[in-house]
Amino acid sequence: MPPILEARDLARTYRVGDGEVRALQGVSLAVQPGEFVALMGPSGSGKTTLLQLLGGLDRPTAGEVVLDGVTISSLDDDAATKLRRDRTGFVFQAFNLVPLLSARENVALPFLLAGRDPLDAETTARVDEALALVDLAAKADRRPDELAFGEQQRVAIARAIAGRPVILFADEPTGNLDYATGLEIMDYLFRSCAERGQTVVLVTHDAQAGAFADRVLFLRDGRVLEEIRLGRRAEHPARPLIERLAQLGQ
């Protein structure tokens, strides 16, 4: 099967004053449909930068990204935006929700932006389904500031998967959460992958979260240092991954 997402020799250099920061220097990777991939590595290793390039939020200095057969890295802004809207979903560490919109409206946002009638049967069904998947149907009409942080993250996941994106990107979605809530969020992500075949690319610091993945790519200094294959499992003990990471010097 061809990969759903492919990156070739990606490089990203930031200008900072007179100098430059080489956040990524030659990253190649491929993600198969239905796969759950985690990007891990020390702070500053380029995880967020890589995720932004893969999702078409930013453009690489060199190299290319092919998402679902389209070279997203060479599209103009409007085309990239539409591709992102229709085929990807994002979950960040925080500030995922538009504060003025209710949970339901936030979930429906990509549909609204695509010009769909938010009240048509299909949209309503998809929004309700996504909210149900994260067990938030009861709180759908609350605004973000009326929800707990974990609940806000669940709304963010619901929004990311409601449009049935070909791929879901998450950047440290559990970073601001306590242990138990973090596991809960990871469980929702994993279930969307296992039950609906959702492809997921996750950035995390946390081995406990990384252990949910089928495969972990370990980054350091803007390069992929190691690939750890864990395989699809029903249980997700963190210990084997922690031991492996320890060997890598983390």
Partner 1 sequence: MRGPRGMGWRWLRRRPLRTVLTIAGIAIGVALVVAALSVQAAVADGAARYAAALSGRADLTVHAFGEGTLSAGTVDAIAGTPGVIATSPQVRRPTFATAGTTTLGAVTVVGVDPAADRALHDETLASGAFLASSDAGGALVPLGWARAHDLGIGSRFSLVGGGGEATLTVRGLLTDAGPALADGGRLVYTTIGAARALFGIDAGAADLVEVRVDPAVGVAQVETRLESRLTSQPYVLSTAADAAAALGGATRDVGSGLLVVAAIVLFVGALLVSDALAMSVGERTREVGLLRVAGATRGQVRRMVLEEAWWLGLAGTVLGTIAGAAAAVILASAVGSLSGAPVAFGVLDPGALAVGVLLGVLVTLAAALEPAWRTGRVSPVEAVRRGPQLAAPASRVRGIAIAGTVAAVVGVAALVAGGWATGGASVLAGTAARSTNATGIPAPAAGLGGALAALALLLAAGVISPLVLRLAGWLVSAATFPVRRLLRPELRLARGALTHDPGRIAVSLAALGVGLGLVVALAGVAQGTRQAGEAWVRDVAPADAAVVAISPVPVDLGSDLAAVRGVASVTPIRLFDVAIAGRLASAMAVDPATYEALGALSVEGGSRAAAFAALQAGGSALVPRSLASRFGLQVGDLLVLRTAQGEARLRVAGVVAHSIPGTAGESVVVSAADAVRSLGIAGASLFLVRAAPGAASGLGARLEAAASPYALSVVRPSAIGGAVTGALDRTFGLLDLLAVAAVVVAALCIVDVLAMDVRQRVGELGLLRAAGLTRRQAWRFVVVEAGILGLAGAFLGIIGGVVAAGAVLFLGGTTGPSGVLEVSWGAVLAALVLGVGGSMLAAVYPARLAARVEVVRAVGVE
Ligand X SMILES: Nc1ncnc2c1ncn2[C@@H]1O[C@H](COP(=O)(O)OP(=O)(O)OP(=O)(O)O)[C@@H](O)[C@H]1O
Position 14 contacts ligand X (CB under 6 A):
yes
**Interaction partner, residue 45 (partner 1, Mg ion, ligand X, none; CB < 5-8 Å by kind):** ligand X
**Interaction partner, residue 199 (Mg ion, partner 1, ligand X, none; CB < 5-8 Å by kind):** none
Within the chain, strands assigned E span 5-16, 19-31, 36-40, 62-67, 70-71, 88-91, 167-171, 199-203, 215-220, 223-229
Position 49 contacts ligand X (CB under 6 A):
yes
Position 45 contacts ligand X (CB under 6 A):
yes
- The 8-class DSSP code of residue 13 comes to E
149 phi and psi, to 5 degrees?
-60, -45
Do residues 133 and 188 lie in contact, with contact meaning Cβ atoms separated by under 8 Å? yes
In whole angstroms, what is the distance from residue 60 CA to residue 66 CA? 12
Neighbours of 89 (CB within 10 A): 27
Shortest Å, Cβ 100 to partner 1: 4
Position 21 contacts ligand X (CB under 6 A):
yes
Among 113, 125, 132, 148, binds partner 1 (CB under 8 A): 113
Nearer to Mg ion, 56 or 110 (CB): 56
Position 44 contacts ligand X (CB under 6 A):
yes
40: helix, strand or coil:
strand
Position 129 contacts partner 1 (CB under 8 A):
no
Nearer to Mg ion, 48 or 153 (CB): 48
In whole angstroms, what is the distance from residue 156 CA to residue 107 CA? 7
Position 109 contacts partner 1 (CB under 8 A):
yes
N-to-C CA span, the chain: 34
- CA nearest neighbour of 54 among 40, 35, 42, 71: 71
Do residues 201 and 54 lie in contact, with contact meaning Cβ atoms separated by under 8 Å? yes
**Interaction partner, residue 77 (partner 1, Mg ion, ligand X, none; CB < 5-8 Å by kind):** partner 1
Shortest Å, Cβ 237 to Mg ion: 25
- The 8-class DSSP code of residue 36 comes to E
Position 19 contacts ligand X (CB under 6 A):
no
Do residues 199 and 34 lie in contact, with contact meaning Cβ atoms separated by under 8 Å? yes
- Compute how many residues bind Mg ion; rule: CB under 5 A: 1
- Compute how many residues bind ligand X; rule: CB under 6 A: 12
Instruction: Provide the residue type at 209 as one letter.
Output: A
Of 62-70, 89-97, 179-187, 241-249: span binding partner 1 (CB under 8 A): 89-97
Of 45-53, 73-81, 151-159, 224-232: span binding ligand X (CB under 6 A): 45-53
Among 45, 48, 152, 199, binds Mg ion (CB under 5 A): 48
Q: Which residues bind ligand X (CB under 6 A)?
A: 14, 16, 21, 23, 41, 43-49
Q: Which residues bind Mg ion (CB under 5 A)?
A: 48
